[in-house]
Amino acid sequence: MGLAKSKKKWQEDGQIDKRDKVLMFLALAGLSCMSLFLNLDYDVMQESLRRARDLTRSTNGSLEVKSERLEERREDVYDSFSWPVNETAINELKQLTKMLDPGRLHQREIRGTVREQPFVCRTKSEDNCLLQGYDQILHYNTCAILGSGGILTGSLCGDEIDSHDFVLRFNLAPIDGYQKDVGSKTTLTSLNNAIMFNVNIHPELNPFAHSLRLSNRTMFLAPKGRFTRVFKRFYEAVRTNRVVVNLKYFGESTHVNGLLGMLDTVSEHVNSPLRGEPTIGLMTILMSTHFCRRINLYGFWPFDTDANNRTVPYHYYTIPHFEPRYGREEPHKKGEQHDFDQEFAFYQELQRRGVLHIMNRACKTE
């Protein structure tokens, strides 16, 4: 009797065990289907979470800006020369940034090699310019715009950068010794006022002055600020280093009347806020939409680690034997003037809209 009872109980337990297995199988199948439906894989999700950075900044308690890392973005399957350009989005942006049209630029040829008449060539109508052929911004199919971020270190992007029709750099960032990562071609250099203090300090040791000498007979741009302040120091640097360059600048009215209003309109149009003083990078990138069809950004990266969690230096270059008058800004901090994280989020939105492409990975391997 006891044996029969035990056997019956074992059969009942077996049936319960079978039901549990069936229920477990159905539950796992349901989870698998849900995972497939959402296209989420645990490892991918964990990697995405590891890479992502939430750069949240509240403005008046209501505004949040979130900037994500880009390695996991689908757009990155395209290289610098094949990503889909959104001509409509570019034209819309050009309409909103008419004051940055390079056709509005003034220019002066500065001859640091002579003392008499260093500014004979002032306008496009002059015939006696030494830099004929070096002084015009035309229209280009591919443009590389180089920030100086340490994300370029070890990127081996030099050849790719130099293959662009137009190469734009900032603030005389050193090139010599870094060509394999940043290339050597320079069509236009964009300057801010602060860099001019550094260029004129000990030019024999100064890496920025060395870059100025290497940039002889190229164009320079002062996209913002009072021209007279930039020009005074830049002229001194050109004379000290005995180069001939063409300096382009917008009239004072561009900055006094409507610059911040223009940025408010643009940020509202792309639904990506821009607050505070714009960097020359932002100004120059917006200007480039007027003459570049395919804009590729290199060296723009406000994070202190890359997508593989490796430390990224602030700049791709080092200056061990030179102390700038104005030290570099502390990386990844919101200063009173500039918000690099916010501007980077803005560039990400432009990438989503097909206006530009951010290169945040190596171009090739050794």
Q: Note the pLDDT tens digit of each residue in 96-133.
A: 999 999 998 888 888 888 877 777 665 555 566 778 76
Which one is predicted more confidently, 337 or 160?
A: 160
Nearest to 250 by CA among 241, 262, 242: 262
Name the 3-class secondary structure at 324: coil
Do residues 110 and 241 touch, judged by C-beta distance below 8 A?
Answer: no
Do residues 215 and 247 touch, judged by C-beta distance below 8 A?
Answer: no
Q: Is the pLDDT of residue 66 over 60?
A: no
Domain shared by 256 and 355, yes or no: yes
131 lies in a domain?
Answer: yes
Which percentage of the chain shows pLDDT scores above 70?
68
User: 206 lies in which domain range?
Assistant: 78-359
Name the 3-class secondary structure at 205: coil
174 lies in a domain?
Answer: yes
Other beta carbons less than 10 A from residue 46's beta carbon: 10
Domain shared by 301 and 199, yes or no: yes
Q: Distance between CA atoms of 167 and 52, rounded to whole angstroms?
A: 30
110: left (phi over 0), alpha (psi -120 to 50) or beta: beta
Domain shared by 27 and 119, yes or no: no
**303 Cα distance to chain centroid:** 12
Domain shared by 168 and 300, yes or no: yes
> Mean pLDDT across the chain, nearest whole number?
77
To 10 degrees, the CA torsion angle through 274, 275, 276, 278?
A: 0
Residue 111's beta-bridge partner residues?
A: 244
Do residues 341 and 65 touch, judged by C-beta distance below 8 A?
Answer: yes
What b/e sequence results for 255-290 when a residue is b if at least 16 CB atoms lie within 10 Å of its CB, and e otherwise? Answer: beeebeebbeebbeebebbbbbebbbbbbbbbbbbb
Domain shared by 126 and 15, yes or no: no
Which pLDDT belongs to residue 322? 63
Q: What is the pLDDT of residues 246-286, one digit of tens each?
A: 889 887 766 656 788 899 999 999 999 988 788 899 999 99
Domain shared by 29 and 157, yes or no: no
What b/e sequence results for 175-209 when a residue is b if at least 16 CB atoms lie within 10 Å of its CB, and e otherwise? Answer: beebeebbbebbbbbbbbbbbbebbbeeeeebbbb
Q: Is the pLDDT of residue 297 over 90?
A: yes
Domain shared by 256 and 303, yes or no: yes
Question: Number of folded domains in the chain?
Answer: 2
Burial degree of 172 (CB within 10 A; 0-12, 13-18, 19+): buried
Domain shared by 108 and 225, yes or no: yes
For residues 63-87, average pLDDT:
60
Domain shared by 100 and 35, yes or no: no
For residues 19-42, average pLDDT:
50
Provide the pLDDT confidence category of residue 204 given band limits of 50, 70 and 90: confident
Domain shared by 125 and 249, yes or no: yes
68 lies in a domain?
Answer: no
Q: Distance between CA atoms of 25 and 83, rounded to whole angstroms?
A: 44
Domain shared by 107 and 236, yes or no: yes
